[in-house]
Amino acid sequence: MQTYLRLENVVKQFGQFTALQQISLSIKQGEFVCFLGPSGCGKTTLLRSIAGLEPVTSGCIFQAGVETTHLPPEKRDFGIVFQSYALFPNLSVRDNIAIGLQNKGFTNIECINLVDKWLEIVGLLSEANKYPNKLSGGQQQRVALARALALSPGLLLLDEPLSALDAKVRSHLREEICQLQRKLGITTVMVTHDQEEALAMADRIVVMNNGVIEQIGTPQEIYEKPASRFVADFVGTTNFISVSMINQHLMRIGEDLLTVPEQLQDLAISGCIVDLAIRPESLYFCEKGKETISVNIEFIEFQGAYCQVECKLWGDLSAHSIYVNVPIREARKLNLMVQQTRYLAMDITHINAYPSEKIMLKSVVAT
Ligand SMILES: Nc1ncnc2c1ncn2[C@@H]1O[C@H](COP(=O)(O)OP(=O)(O)O)[C@@H](O)[C@H]1O
Ligand SMILES: [Mg+2]
């Protein structure tokens, strides 16, 4: 697939404050990309820069092979949807969509046909003459989507379009947006702080933190191979377990000695401390064995389909808690109880490792 949108070393400063630092990325024709990161990391600023709503301080933006860096928004080819619907309250649903078409010089009959087409696509033809305040949040957001798409832009920009909606409506509209995007094949960038949303919807995710890109990858790559500790922590739940490397083949976790997984042997420098990153679903309770970790159960929380079991490394109460998700049927068999000592095995193919936070803290103190 061809590159549709390309950013090269985009920097955005607000006075002394740098909101975006040297952002470079390419988005392919028809791709659905999510900008994901905590509040304030620069997602909206980046989206607005692409739209020309925010002039960039330096760097270049290319869309469909043309440099757009200094073009005003009205000269760029995009439709945009914001979190806060942003419909005209004094116009009917129909006119909210028609007004943009009229401004672009479409005739009345063309407007009527296009408005009807898009209202039908978003399932709101029967609401055409209502005013926005008579619609639910989900319906208003569908109108905003129809309005953004009515001019058949080459690029759809969505800034937290689902964040203001309640859970049921959100997951429903999430599916609708995905299906519509695939059907239209429109290149789409969506901003979200919700990792679940990004994992579910995106072809690729751009994880951001403090104005920089931490990782770009498919949802699976981001989840299974987080490029940094930040990504491992921000996307999904991760247990960080401190281990000391004895040698290339042996590591100590709490009181136990275990084999160093193959993918971590490069990190296994004797005497070095690293943090293993393991997802709750990659740990399971078993009989004590050669490759098990002894833990003390601190807390068990019933979560419906599974129990979330909070443990501490045996004999190390100061260590971070380790969370294990045990499917409910399994939990009944295991008869887990608080304060028991139990044994955990790891799915070693799903372990990542990062420099220890303890060491990083020490070096901060030292300087
Ligand atoms: N117009 C502005 N003037 C000054 N600072 C701004 C402005 N817009 C955004 N910022 C700052 O830039 C950073 C990134 O903001 P934003 O892109 O809105 O983050 P996000 O969408 O990821 O929550 C924040 O620290 C915010 O306070
Ligand atoms: Mg934002």
- Euclidean distance between CA atoms 208 and 350, whole angstroms: 23
Q: Is the pLDDT of residue 316 over 80?
A: no
φ, ψ at 192 (rounded to 5°): -155, 150
Last residue of one domain, picked from the residues 234, 256, 274: 234
Same domain for 283 and 139?
no
Structural domain contains residue 61: no
Element (H, E) at 365: helix 357-366
How do residues 223-264 score in pLDDT, each as one tens digit? 999 999 999 999 999 999 999 999 989 999 988 999 999 988
pLDDT of residue 166: 86
Cα(340) to centroid of ligand 1, in Å? 48
Contacts for 230 with CB less than 8 Å, ≥ 6 apart? 207, 209, 214
Same domain for 249 and 228?
no
Same domain for 308 and 358?
yes
For residue 335, the domain's CATH number is 2.40.50.140
Q: If we measure between CA atoms, which residue out of 246, 268, 267, 254 comes closest to residue 319?
A: 254
How do residues 68-100 score in pLDDT, each as one tens digit? 999 999 999 999 999 887 899 999 999 999 999
> Which residues line ligand 1 at a C-beta cut-off of 6 Å?
14, 17, 19, 37, 39-45
Mean pLDDT of 38-54: 97
Mean pLDDT of 160-184: 91
Same domain for 326 and 275?
yes
φ, ψ at 98 (rounded to 5°): -70, -30
What Rg do the C-alpha atoms of the chain give, in angstroms?
25
Last residue of one domain, picked from the residues 234, 256, 284: 234
Instruction: Give how many domains the chain has, as a whole number.
Output: 2
Same domain for 269 and 140?
no
Same domain for 123 and 191?
yes
Q: Is the pLDDT of residue 362 over 70?
A: no
Q: Is the pLDDT of residue 367 over 50?
A: no
Q: Please check whether residue 336 is in contact with residue 344, taking contact to mean a CB–CB distance below 8 angstroms.
A: no
Same domain for 312 and 218?
no
pLDDT of residue 267: 80
How do residues 97-130 score in pLDDT, each as one tens digit? 999 999 888 999 999 999 999 999 999 999 999 9
pLDDT mean across residues, the chain: 92
Q: Specify the pTM.
A: 0.90
Cα(158) to centroid of ligand 2, in Å? 10
Q: Which domain holds residue 98?
A: 33-56+68-234
For residue 147, the domain's CATH number is 3.40.50.300
Same domain for 247 and 286?
yes
57 residue type, one letter: T
